[in-house]
Structure 1
């Protein structure tokens, strides 16, 4: 579980995050949603410590991340996995080497144990017969799956995904969504996903935080979001007429 309490963040005297509090539950896909410029990316980066908050607390299973020194933070970060927007694979390394990289950096496993863990993670994301290929030799969807395999190779307690479906077609995006959700549930990870993709929201949104202009405007789940009377949320959701029709059809049933 990750809990944020009364988070504030500003840049050059401009308030970007304003008094945001939220609990992100273990074993659920927790989504941060909002328009571009809403503050959701700053919030995600603040939670992982890429930005220092001006005020408030960030708690990892009741451990106060905001008050930790660098040594303790470094230790805690070994419990985190990260899937970056572009995948961020190393072009000069093979698929297998990309996944093994965190093990080489942070574990004391033997070569055989590392290989076993790499094979397990690649199998978990349904990557076969691609171990020796380079990122340029596989599709964008496969690159994202390799990035997910790398993010879980150290058995993290916490998984962070920044726009994981960026640049993917709708069908591949659904595969990535389901993969992240199943890994979260099966491995009992606390997963936080930063997204503006309403398809992801409706498919895997177990616990959703909606941000507008740096403020927390709504929280709920994918079953509740279509029926919220929050005006800002409605404008965000129903910018896609598909979801207006879905709501109307359910109301008329």
Structure 2
């Protein structure tokens, strides 16, 4: 479990980006953070993984205060984290299997054959075979995301963070990626946190959902609760997201 307790974060210009955010993210669940651009959802995700230092409050991994932990403890926790970046963030000059093995090269003493076996297992788990020697430039958008997922789980993480995992993907591929993330979350009992504005993802895999509005936690519930919401700002966000998706679908025809 990951908990944010009364978290505040300001930028250097003094603008308050996160305003006393309190939230819990459960293991074995797909925990979604939604909100319009500039709402603070990406900043919250970066605070949870330690890329931003919070001004006040606490971030706890189980019962350990991550935000106030010594550097050595933070490093130990970070080795239990997996991250899927918005664009995949693969190393262009490395092959698929080299990209997946990269965390093993950095953080383990495994032999080359052991690393290759582990990487191949993860690639098979994301239904990506016969692509080991390809480079990122030779992959489709969906394949890049699957390689990124394989790399994110290669260290057997307890916590998985996904920043807009469906960005740039067509609707059909987006569903494949959503289902894959949900399957892995449940299979390995991972605490998964997904930052997204894709309402299809929300309605398909949103076990718990937090809506951030102007830096505050404005609404919290499940994908079933969201259908009956009377929260004006959330309703406007849902409508805008649906319209944007229709526009992208029409442009792709």
Alignment partner of 1:191 is 2:192 = yes
Query: What residue is the counterpart of 2:248 in the other structure?
Result: none
Take 2:142 and 2:110, find their aligned partners in 1: how far apart are those partners?
Answer: 29
Take 1:144 and 1:98, find their aligned partners in 2: how far apart are those partners?
Answer: 12
Take 2:3 and 2:41, find their aligned partners in 1: how far apart are those partners?
Answer: 16
Alignment partner of 1:37 is 2:48 = no
Q: String of CA shifts for 1:66-108, please: whole Å, max 9, x gaps.
A: 1111111111100000000010000110000000010011011
Give the alignment's Cα RMSD to 1 decimal.
Answer: 1.0
Alignment partner of 1:115 is 2:116 = yes
Shift of 1:39: 0.3
Shift of 1:116: 1.3
What 5-or-longer segments of structure 2 have no aligned partner? 244-253
Query: What residue is the counterpart of 1:8 in the other structure?
Result: 8
Q: String of CA shifts for 1:141-200, please: whole Å, max 9, x gaps.
A: 100000000000000000000001111111111100000000000011000000001011
Written as runs of structure 1 = structure 2, the 5 A alignment for 1:51-130 is 51-130=52-131
The TM-score normalised by the length of structure 2 is: 0.94
Aligned CA distance change for structure 1 residues 241 and 109 (closer, same or farther; 3 Å):
closer
Contact map agreement 2:199 2:242 (CA 8 A) in 1? no
Take 1:16 and 1:56, find their aligned partners in 2: how far apart are those partners?
Answer: 14
Take 2:127 and 2:113, find their aligned partners in 1: how far apart are those partners?
Answer: 21
The TM-score normalised by the length of structure 1 is: 0.94
2:210 is paired with a residue whose SS is strand
1:200 is paired with a residue whose SS is helix
1:32 is paired with a residue whose SS is strand
Take 2:123 and 2:24, find their aligned partners in 1: how far apart are those partners?
Answer: 31
Written as runs of structure 1 = structure 2, the 5 A alignment for 1:126-165 is 126-165=127-166
Take 1:133 and 1:113, find their aligned partners in 2: how far apart are those partners?
Answer: 20
Contact map agreement 1:226 1:237 (CA 8 A) in 2? no
Alignment partner of 1:17 is 2:18 = yes
Contact map agreement 1:34 1:196 (CA 8 A) in 2? yes
Aligned residues: 242
Take 2:176 and 2:240, find their aligned partners in 1: how far apart are those partners?
Answer: 24
Shift of 1:111: 1.8
Shift of 1:239: 2.7
Written as runs of structure 1 = structure 2, the 5 A alignment for 1:163-202 is 163-202=164-203
Take 2:58 and 2:129, find their aligned partners in 1: how far apart are those partners?
Answer: 42
Aligned CA distance change for structure 1 residues 129 and 64 (closer, same or farther; 3 Å):
same
Which stretches of structure 1, 4 residues or longer, exceed 4 Å deviation after superposition? Answer: none
Shift of 1:115: 1.4
Shift of 1:238: 2.4
